[in-house]
Structure formats: structure tokens, C-alpha cells
Structure 1
Amino acid sequence: MKITASPRSPEERKRDVLARLERELDIWVASADADGVPCLVPLWFLWDGQAVWLSTRATNPTGRNLTDGRRTRLAFADTRDVVLVDGEATAFTAQDVPAAAVGAFRAKYGWDPREDRAPYSFFRVRPVRVQAWHEVHELPQRHLMRDGTWVV
């Protein structure tokens, strides 16, 4: 993408974001503890059409932060094709996670976190705000979702 290229329309950006949510394997997960100490890790994820599902050990910083703080920012690794998703996380134990989420993890990655020796939690992240842009010329129309509603 060159800065001289025409900006994508908001509708095109939304399509691109949804396509990435379907095809990407990893997403950066940012969280913070009660003291504001940040934590940033890449995790496998899946998109169910409404929310992002994550799974991580309940005892690691991300697991604790998402359980306690419930807020997160998700991002893909590409700095020239930025996607930021601010969301609210709901924690699920291995016992109460919906079967569809576990089945989707198994289908996408060949892995069921519940079968790991260490206890894993699951987190459903409902997007509240989504931004997407290529370079500075797309910044003015970067907001695709606000207050949990797509604006395009």
C-alpha cells in the first residue's frame, strides 16, 4: 500500500476487517492489571461472526487481567494494515464454555484447550469499537464500529 493510493471506502475496510478476522491465526491481546501494569501477548483466536474467542491459562497475567478487568484491545501484527478492536471480555471456565467455541478451536487449530494439562479459561470478546486504516490518508474514516454498532 502506498500513501498515494486512494483510500479505501469504509465499507471496503469493514469487509477487509471481517476477512482478516476469519483468516488470521494470531492476534495481539493487550490487557492491564488493577495497578495499570500492561500486558501484551499474541494468542490464537477465532471469530464467530459476533465476537472474538480467546483461550489462555487462567493463572497467567492475560487470563487474570481479562477475568478481573474485562477490557482488552486486540490488534493484528501488520503495521501497514492496522486493525484495532476494543472489546469487553467475558470469562468462561473449561466447564461452562459453549461447545461451539471449543469445536471451533478444534476445527481451526486441531487443539482443545480443555485437554491441556494446565487449566485454560476461555474469553469471549465482544467488540465495542473497531478502527482500521492503511497509512495516514485513511485516518479520517478509521472508525468502523462505535459503542458496539457498526457505523458502516
Structure 2
Amino acid sequence: MGTQLEPIASRPYMPGYGTLPADEGGGLLPWSWAVERLAASHDYWLATVRPDGRPHVMPVWGVWLGDALWFSSGEESRKARNLSIRPFATLTTDNAAEPVVVEGRTDRIRAATTIGHFTAAVNTKYRTDYPVSFFAANVTFRLRPSTAFALTDSNFTGSPTRWAFA
């Protein structure tokens, strides 16, 4: 599903919080650390924007697949309607002690073969047996990261890392 996603930049992040430079306090987290958590997270928090500009946040099941976060929703859900107007979103992992926050543009996936790959990944991860038709009848989204952020609670001042992607 494409080449491996690699950051074009990573840097210390969290101005104003007293965080340490990269050469002190533990340094930056590697992107591989973030990918492990993106793949392992059971749930993700999805943030979108309503047509009137108010935020909307909901938990979703999802998978890290082909260097992107994938999730599905009902066609008439608030999140799907929001993304049809403004396709940008933020997804976060479910562990607040080691969060990974990914921002980017979502794409609605329509190709049956691609939805089939997503279905197989969901069924493997969640030990379910959904048919491809279930996701094809709803909407499937892929969020490709433009930026990501992560930190560890155990090294709050040394670990905050922000990545940028092409």
C-alpha cells in the first residue's frame, strides 16, 4: 500500500511547557515508536469540525495500514457529514500516558478492493468477522499524516516530539 512513511522533520515540541532541548532529558522519540502505538491502539479519538465551526470528537475503531490511519463510519453520522465538508481531521491513540496525535487530510475510500484490505485488517485486529459489504455500505476513510505529535508521561519534559511529513 505504498512506500514507508518517513518524517521530513522531527523536533522538540511544546513551547512554553519547560520542555528540554533534544540533547537533554531523553531526546526525541523515533517515528517507529509512534507507529507501534498507532498500530496497537484499540480505540482512537477522532476530532472533526462541524459546519458551524464547533468541534466534534468521537471514539472510533481503526487500523494503521499503509502508513495511514483508517476508520469507518455510518454515512449519516456527524463525523462523516463533517468530513464531507471539511476533510481534515485529528486522530489520537487511546493511551494518555503515551499519546500519539496525528493530523491530516482524510480521503473517502470507494474502491472495493481497498475496502477489502481495510476489512481484513479490522477483522484481524478486533477479532471480528465483518463482511466487506458492511464497510462498503457505510463510509471508509483514510487519514494520511501531515503532522504528528507524541510524548511519554514518564519523560514529559524530554520526550515531546513533533513530526512533519511531505
Q: What TM-score comes out, normalization by structure 1 length? A: 0.77
Q: 1:37 to 1:113 in 2, by over 3 A?
A: farther
Secondary structure, counterpart of 1:75 in structure 2: strand
Work out whether 1:32 is the aligned partner of 2:52. Answer: no
* Superposed structure 1 runs of 4+ greater than 6 Å apart: none
Q: 1:34 to 1:9 in 2, by over 3 A?
A: same
- Structure-1 separation of matches of 2:145 and 2:136: 28
Identity among equivalent positions (%) equals: 24
Q: Larger RCO: Structure 1 or Structure 2 (Cα < 8 Å, ≥ 6 residues apart)? A: 2
Secondary structure, counterpart of 1:42 in structure 2: strand
Q: What code does the residue aligned with 2:157 have?
A: H
- Structure-1 separation of matches of 2:101 and 2:143: 13
Q: 1:16 to 1:34 in 2, by over 3 A?
A: same
Shift of 1:52: 0.7
Shift of 1:118: 10
Secondary structure, counterpart of 1:137 in structure 2: coil
Work out whether 1:138 is the aligned partner of 2:158. Answer: yes
> Which aligned pairs between 1:3-152 and structure 2 lie closer than 5 A?
7-10=25-28, 12-93=29-110, 95=112, 97-109=114-126, 110-112=128-130, 114-116=132-134, 119-135=137-153, 136-138=156-158, 141-143=160-162, 145-146=163-164, 148-149=165-166
**Cα deviation 1:84-138 (Å, max 9, x = unaligned):** 1101100124857442122212222214375449941000100010111124403
Task: Report the aligned-residue RMSD.
Answer: 2.7
Q: 1:63 to 1:94 in 2, by over 3 A?
A: farther
Aligned residues: 141
Secondary structure, counterpart of 2:67 in structure 1: coil
- Structure-2 separation of matches of 1:26 and 1:8: 28
Secondary structure, counterpart of 1:138 in structure 2: coil
Q: Which runs of 5+ in 1 are unaligned?
A: 1-5
